[in-house]
Amino acid sequence: MLRCNIGNIKSAGMTYDHPHRSAAPPPAAPDAGRFHSSSQEPAKFEDPDATSSRLGVFFCQRTRFSVPLRRGRRQSSRKSWSQPLDACIDGRMASKANGYVFALLAIVIFSIQDGLSKHLGANYPPVFVAMIRYWAFAGFAITLAWRSPAGLSATAVTKRPLLQVLRGVLLPAQIVVVITAFTVVGLAHSQAILAATPIFVALLSMPLLGERVGWRRWSAITAGLVGVLLILKPGEGTFEIDFLLPLTGALMFAVYAIATRLVSREDSAMTSFFYTGVVGAAAISLVGPFFWVTLSGPDWVWMLLLCVTGSLSHYFLIRAYDLLDAVAVQPLTYLQLVFASIMGVTIFGETLTANMIMGSLLVVAAGIFTVWRERVVARRKAGLPPG
């Protein structure tokens, strides 16, 4: 399954590989922001230069007038220009509200998907479960590439083929590790450790990308690692070797995130998303048939539901990132840890310990701060205000 951790790495400086976010806004029109004066014609409201996402979501940037309002015409003109301005503000607020709805839907469906993966992984080989799941995801990625403005053939062109193949192979391997962790370690404890992915991304970005990390992010990384250590000692303070499974999954996804940031410098997000599905499906299909088993009748229903939730969760997450910034989505993604804990306790009979709860709180707080700080630093480098 492809988890909501994908959302955890996306910020202004950390690219999430989904296909509907353009790397840079379109250039403004030559006369953008200018005032046109005319003594014969009254002031006119002009349509704003609204930028749009590829899913057709329009954002109002600003409202412009052709001439300043004269004192005698202010009262009569106020009504005419305030109506489109109010409509613009209402539209942005409605878009934000829709973004939060999409994000919550994605998180709930991701959580259901994790529960289905744990159930199926406990009864069938995780490689087999991941292969069937990945076939459905590959079909979803191909469909998006085919329906994209560039088309399927243009989307398949990459300037970093080796790195794209590495990403495509790494992610299905990580998914197999995560499904195994759900089965062996448990849903709640695995999610608590996987929530540390943004911290590992920030940590690995220094040696692999040569990025500088200030004392604030170092403090967040340290706090997050302390939280992970608390989670790794869930009982009487003893370390369990099985907990290396979710820890390995988190580190693998962090490396995948770093590779995604590297390819994003030259390839579009749609191209990376396409290779994630197609190469991943091809790679796991080389191994998965050796683990083929026959599913029972009811489990075919669960497998079909797993495939459907995989596509739906990614679609809703993509829509959420079209409407919201990563800093707004990131705190919501940690609800997946809450849902996983509820399912683990009520459905699978797992037990939560004090160490696990305290460690999870540290990891969540450190992860949110790390993503927020990444955004602040990236905007500062771009010469933009921190807000």
Question: What is the domain partition of the chain in residue ranges?
Answer: 91-381
Tokens of 206: 């220094």
Confidence of residue 206 (pLDDT cuts 50, 70, 90): confident
Per-residue pLDDT at 175 exceeds 90 = yes
292 residue type, one letter: W
Q: What is the pLDDT of residue 82?
A: 53
Which residues, other chains included, contact 380 with Cβ-Cβ below 8 Å and sequence gap of 6+?
386
User: What pLDDT, on a 0 to 100 scale, did the predictor assign at position 137?
Assistant: 92
Closest CA to 258 of 321, 314, 200: 200
pLDDT band at 238 (very low <50, low <70, confident <90, very high): low
Range in 78-82, 137-141, 256-260 with the lowest mean pLDDT:
78-82
Q: Average pLDDT of 98-119?
A: 91
At residue 355 the predicted structure's pLDDT band, cuts being 50, 70 and 90, is confident
When the pLDDT of each residue in the chain is averaged and rounded to a whole number, the result is 78
64 has which bridge partners? 46
Specify the pLDDT at position 49.
37
What integer is the mean pLDDT of 267-275?
Answer: 91
306: number of Cβ within 10 Å: 23
pLDDT reading at 37 higher than 80: no
Question: What does the pLDDT look like over 286-321, one tens digit per residue?
Answer: 999 999 999 988 899 999 999 999 888 888 888 887
Average pLDDT over residues 109-130: 95
Which residue type does 383 have?
Answer: G
pLDDT score, position 322: 79
Query: What would the mean pLDDT of 250-256 be, rounded to a whole number?
Result: 94
Answer yes or no: is pLDDT of 109 > 90: yes
Query: DSSP of 202-246, one letter per residue?
Result: HHHHHHHH-----HHHHHHHHHHHHHHHHHH--SSS---GGGHHH
Q: Which of 104-113, 144-153, 204-213, 295-304 has the lowest mean pLDDT?
A: 204-213
Q: Please say if the pLDDT value at position 20 is more than 70.
A: no
What is the pLDDT averaged over residues 345-351? Answer: 92
More confident residue, 233 or 23: 233
Confidence of residue 237 (pLDDT cuts 50, 70, 90): low
Residue 298 token pair:
């009811």
Q: Which residues contact 182 (CB under 8 A, 6 or more apart)?
A: 114, 117, 118, 121, 190
Q: Which residue has the higher pLDDT, 87 or 256?
A: 256
The residue ranking higher by pLDDT, 39 or 114, is 114
- Percent of the chain topping pLDDT 70: 73
Give the pLDDT confidence of 56-69 residue by residue, as tens digits.
333 333 333 333 44
Query: Lowest-pLDDT range, 15-19, 215-219, 220-224, 287-291?
Result: 15-19
